[in-house]
Structure 1
């Protein structure tokens, strides 16, 4: 069965890009389960940054969505998008222009005003840095420091969930479960309520892994996407999660936002 390639949406911003990404994710939900891959390009402050984004789209394909308030950068991106026939969406421009006319006032054109550098902002940055550092079992010492620990086999949305929750100021470590390697002892010593197990239907995972192999240009019949191998991995993961006694969420037909909402609700009621 043919599976559609994910459409890449480059979110370009002169700040962190969270606003643009949130809008794109909300829009993409209307087309679920058609895959949409979001590539965030934050802190674009010069023409060189615009060129990198355009070159990336020309190489890999996709569309560009942007929240640029500096007119020169916005105009440069639009000019190059038109030049290379790249679909583009200006999220802030029309709103700012219309508000300016209604208010009879020129906009300040100052980047980053949506996200002031206050305590909340720095907590979010700290959580994002934490998620990156302790992603996919890179450093198990993060298990003791995390607000949430995610467990699951490969391609159960551990990394996207970690980043999404980090933007909610939660420090997340995620641990891959692989039959050939016993998980770190620390997951048996932290409170089980902080641990979230991620389960997925084997057929669904098979499709996701085949798509991943295809994206990487590898053979779809590799062991990584073998149904029997997948069942072995999932059985191993179930045994580990049962031993811990942690809550388990099935991510088979859930968007990242939906699973994250369930996790946050669980954490709030601990």
Structure 2
């Protein structure tokens, strides 16, 4: 199995760099990747302390450093050691500079500045945590998105992921014996999305869940026929209310969230009235 030391150097939190590395590594199978993560590298002194580890664990260096002096010093060190160093955002930044006709600001962590979008994201996270699993349904009209589905259909992790993207999300478990509050069917502002999954996959997920709680005894919670009926019950509700449905059986949380965002943006685009220009003379 190929082994690689992957060094990630960032002058900010490194979140962007980690996401890029994760997306690229997903294209490779059966590899042993040893990550070395170095966030907040903003001085020559900090960088110089990292160099011995680069030399001791040769591999690939990916970096997002906007300070010209710091990045030049890193590149010099990598040439001396004989390591490839890739500035992962350079191509995108240069293309934007060309298209926009202006130079990039070159300020570390600018994407994490405390602007309106930042505070909107914080508000969304607070709202989403406070409205998990059907809690505080009286405030659902304030949500952007409501996720509905049977137990263990990835509602909560998807909600949290969406909240980190700035969406206020509530979620509601659908239980055959306990109908959801009537308010769910009268909402005007939020978009309600149904999450469904294959019953056999749901049984497997629930069995794994039972192993981590209580004594893990079998129950109707993992009975195949019962689970299939739950899924059918939820699907009927989705169809009766014309809610869009996403099958999460083979989707990651990120993929499910992306599908929800696409549905939300499409709905927003339909509801924006067309711009009417002046009548021709």
Shorter-chain TM range is: 0.5 to 0.7
Asked if the contact 1:68/1:111 (under 8 Å) is kept, the reply is no
Query: Which one of 168, 175, 179 corresponds to residue 176 of structure 2?
Result: 179
Superposition deviation, residue 174 in structure 1:
0.6
TM-score (structure 1 length as normaliser): 0.63
What do the CA deviations read for 1:62-112 (whole angstroms, capped 9, x no partner)? x998564389xx9xxx9xxxxxxxxxxxx98x765997554359xxxx996
Question: 2:255 matched to 1:258?
Answer: yes
| Greater C-alpha Rg | 2
2:228 counterpart of 1:231? yes
TM-superposed CA distance for 1:235, in Å, is 2.1
Q: Which of the numbers 117, 130, 133 marks the counterpart of 1:136? A: 133
- Match in the other structure for 1:198: 195
RMSD of aligned residue pairs (Cα, Å) = 3.9
Distance 1:223 1:21 in 2: 41
Residue number in structure 1 paired with 2:146: 149
Listed as ranges, the gaps of 5+ residues in structure 1 are 1-14, 33-62, 79-90
Does the Cα contact within 8 Å between 1:192 and 1:246 map onto a contact in 2? no
Pick closer, same or farther for the CA change 1:116–1:101 going to 2, 3 Å. closer
Q: SS of 2:211's equivalent?
A: helix
Q: 1:65 to 1:156 in 2, by over 3 A?
A: farther
Q: Which of 96, 100, 103 is the aligned partner of 2:72?
A: 103
Report how far residue 207 of structure 1 moved: 0.9
Q: Is the 8 A contact 1:193 1:247 kept in 2?
A: no
Q: Secondary structure at the match of 2:112?
A: coil
Which of residues 182, 206, 210 is equivalent to 1:209?
206
Helix, strand or coil at the partner of 2:257: helix
**In structure 1, what is the Cα distance between the partners aligned to 2:134 and 2:14?**
27
1:243 CA displacement: 2.3
Aligned counterpart, 2:96: none
- Counterpart of 1:245 in structure 2 is 242
The answer to whether 1:268 aligns with 2:265 is: yes
Q: Answer whether contact 1:148 1:171 (CA < 8 A) is retained.
A: yes
Structure 2 unaligned residues grouped into runs of 5+: 1-11, 51-60, 75-106, 268-281
Task: Describe the shift of the 1:189–1:269 C-alpha distance in structure 2 as closer, same or farther (beyond 3 A).
Answer: same
CA distance in 1, matches of 2:153, 2:242: 19
The answer to whether residue 159 in structure 2 is matched with residue 162 in structure 1 is yes
CA distance in 2, matches of 1:70, 1:104: 12
Contact in 1 for aligned 2:140/2:190 (Cα 8 Å)? no
Contact 1:249-1:259 within 8 A present in 2 as well: yes
Provide the residue aligned with 2:40 in structure 1.
69
Moved more, 16-25 or 198-207: 16-25
Give the aligned length: 210
Instruction: Tell me the TM-score normalized by structure 2.
Output: 0.61
Going from structure 1 to structure 2, the CA distance change for 1:121 and 1:176 (only over 3 Å counts) comes to same
